[in-house]
């Protein structure tokens, strides 16, 4: 099976751009599986947050998937096109990564 992942990319201060990746997958695989395959096979610069991979325990892979806020690890890849973008109400770090930790668990460094 095949899908196109249209991913909103960029860092703060840059104009965001959408990059499209073709991903081949097997039934049941998750959006997080797809993102990891992109890093392994085509573009290792793509940034997204995750720790536990697919146990849905770390709750770090939250993003906007086809318009809804969801976990990349529990959302299945589907054929056609899927649109991914970072959480809208959190400060952007880069690509799909946002600041999701409470402020007192972060170092305040202005780059």
- Residue 10 CB, nearest approach to other proteins (Å): 10
Q: Does 47 engage in binding with other proteins (CB under 8 A)?
A: yes
Among the residue ranges 15-23, 46-54, 62-70, the one whose residues contact other proteins (CB under 8 A): 46-54
Q: How far apart are CA 50 and CA 27, in angstroms?
A: 21
Which one among 28, 67, 80, 89 touches other proteins, defined by CB under 8 A? 28
Least Cα distance to 8 among 93, 17, 71, 47 occurs for 17
DSSP SS3 for 68? strand
Minimum CB separation from other proteins for residue 68, in Å? 17
CA angle 26, 61, 7 (to 5 degrees): 70
Separation of alpha carbons 103 and 57, rounded Å: 21
Kind and range of the H or E element at 37? helix 31-41
Among 50, 62, 84, 85, binds other proteins (CB under 8 A): 50
Instruction: By CB under 8 A, name the binding residues for other proteins.
Output: 11-12, 26-30, 33, 36, 39-41, 44-47, 49-60, 73-74, 93-95, 97, 99-101, 104-107, 109-111
């Amino acid at each position: 099976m095949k899908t196109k992942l249209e991913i909103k990319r960029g860092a703060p201060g840059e104009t965001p751009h959408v990059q499209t990746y073709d991903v081949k997958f097997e039934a049941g695989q998750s959006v997080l599986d797809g993102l990891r395959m992109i890093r392994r096979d085509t573009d290792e610069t793509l940034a997204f947050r995750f720790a536990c991979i697919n146990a849905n325990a770390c709750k770090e892979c939250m993003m906007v998937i086809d318009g809804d806020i969801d976990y990349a690890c529990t959302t299945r890849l589907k054929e056609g096109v899927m649109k991914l973008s970072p959480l809208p109400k959190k400060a952007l770090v880069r690509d799909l990564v946002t600041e999701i930790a409470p402020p007192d668990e972060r170092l305040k460094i202005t780059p």
